[in-house]
Amino acid sequence: MLDADLLFTSATKAAALIRARKLSPVDYARAVLAAIEREQPRLNCFVTVMADQALAEAKRAEDAVMAGVALGPLHGVPIHIKDLVDVAGVRTTHGTAIFTDNVAVHDDVLVARLRQAGAVIIGKTTTPEFGNKGLTDGPSFGVTRNPWNPERTPGGSSGGAAAAVAAGLAPLGLGTDGAGSVRGPAACCGLVGLKPTLGAVPYDTTRDAFGNNVYAGPLARTVTDAAVMHAVLTGATARDPWSQGGEDRRRLSPALIGHDLSGLRIGYVERCANPRVAADVLANTRASLEAWAGLGADVEEVTDAIDWIEYEGRILYQANFAVFCAPYLPKWRDRMDPVTLAFMERGARFSLADFRNAQFARTRLFRQIQALFERYDVLVMPTHSRTALPVGFDAANDEVEVDGVKCGITRQGWTSYQYPFNLTGHPALSIPSGFGADGLPTGIQVVGRWGCDTDVLRFASLLELTRPWAQHRPKAA
């Protein structure tokens, strides 16, 4: 197999080849590391490349294959980790100069689970400062670029992971999602990105375990790869109260077992808080809906007057930065991202009453979405209102243009479909819907009932069968 084809082989196929002794984990790791060396100067998607460690892990994986021992579902498969998540012995910089020398002592529980599944950790991918925005850049590491067009962003804050997977620099990446940070980059880069149900995948490091709105999830080129990785990550830990429910969130509803979607009800949401949707995004979304309808699903536009709580969501988001970043200001202000500083300044203006009312609004939104699921089996909407923004876009102040019309800052004009489901906790998956007029990928988001992550993945896989996307590759360096 040529290296170019190997780099775009699915994780599940690669793992099967390794189990069958038709692919060497060492050769696979070397091919990926060589590709990273070629692409890193152009894309800047890695903070740390763990070449020596990865090759040593790949050698152990190969020895295990030859010894005939039991192998995990990702045995020998290279995976990278967003630089908000700890890998033992490697820096976790959180995208900021503040933590340049912060070397992790232990693996995060999710990294430990990936290792137990046989994955080979090859590096840490870029994130904006503390994962603060929907683009991936910052004063501590520069600009991460989209492999489909380096003058565009790969999205954020898991932009490094998305750019790397899209460019063939490992088939899987672990991202995190606090306001769309897995789904947005997936849409920008033509990938599959899952934000699971709250608690399905533990998030042990969140500062507010009970009010959590941050999730970890896979970035992949295929739905099957995302599903396998999600299954590896799923399960309770003692440190995450939301993971303590005990139910198996990997179950599949019987109605989704086959290809016949007759009777399945899709609620189509054309706009959330955004005033406009680009014509090409809209066309690709409708084509995807028609594909599901062709399998028997009923599609109905949601006309309910839903308060998507953009303002209240902003209060929760910016007040969080104002509080937890405050201790860093005296020493680090001049080396912090201006976007972080702007969010902190705005967040500090909100009162306790503002914050509590925003928390109450989160509950109202959850109940509104729950009411929709009394009528619909899934909700479908675009992931973004337009294709990827230019690099250098100021996420704190610039207005997003959609078909030439200014539509507000990013959370109003571009990512408004994403953050509501961080607040409600429902599983949300972005999958490719096609390409825009500018040649960049567009995405469609599927939102499911609480706990029905596998249903969302299965429903998306049926679109993948009828409108496949993994055959498309961006041009290499």
The set of catalytic residues is: 82, 157, 181
Tell me if residue 115 falls in helix, strand or coil: helix
**Ramachandran class of 266: left when φ > 0, alpha when ψ lies in -120 to 50, beta otherwise:** beta
Q: Which helix (H) or strand (E) holds 14?
A: helix 11-19
Backbone angles phi, psi at 146, to 5 degrees: -85, 125
Residue 56 carries which DSSP code? Answer: H
d(C-alpha 243, C-alpha 224), whole Å: 23
- Looking from the CA of 375 toward its CB, the CA atoms found within 13 Å total 13
- Looking from the CA of 184 toward its CB, the CA atoms found within 13 Å total 32
d(C-alpha 86, C-alpha 124), whole Å: 9
Residue 50 carries which DSSP code? Answer: -
Residues 6 or more apart from 203 whose CB is under 8 A from it? Answer: 176, 212, 214, 215, 216, 240
The end-to-end CA distance of the chain, in Å, is 20
